[in-house]
Amino acid sequence: MEELKSYTLKHRYLVDEIYIESKFIGVFSSWEEADKAIDIFFVLPGFKDYPRDCFIIKEYIVNDYDKWKDGFKEEQLDLLYWLCVLP
C-alpha cells in the first residue's frame, strides 16, 4: 500500500537570541501545493518583511506514529522542546 503523505507549511523567524516566532499556515496534499501557498503569502504584509527561507515545508506520513511508540524519558524533554520549536 502506498504511503499517504501530507505537507505542513509554517513561517518562522528569530525574534531575538531566544525567541522564535512561528505561524502554522496549513496542511497540503502535495509539496507543490504548499510551495504555491508560499508564493501567495510571501507578498503579504508581515510575511514580505522576511526571506522566503522563513517558510518551512515539512513532509509527514499519515498515520505514522511509530516514532514515539515507546513513549519518552525525562532526559529527552530538551530534545522534545527543540522538536516543537524547530522545523
What residues make up the domain containing 75?
Answer: 5-85
Please name every residue paired with 13 in a beta bridge, in sequence order, or none if there are none: 21
Distance CA 37, CA 29 (A): 12
**pLDDT level of residue 80 (50, 70, 90 thresholds):** very low
Residues 31-61 pLDDT 10s? 999 999 999 999 999 999 999 999 999 999 8
Q: Which long-range contacts (CB under 8 A, 24 or more apart) does 50-54 make?
A: 50/11, 50/13, 54/11, 54/12, 54/13
For residue 62, give the DSSP letter: T
Looking at residue 27, its pLDDT comes to 96
| Percentage of the chain modeled with pLDDT above 90 | 53
Whether pTM > 0.75 for this model: the answer is: no
Count up the domains in the chain and report the number: 1
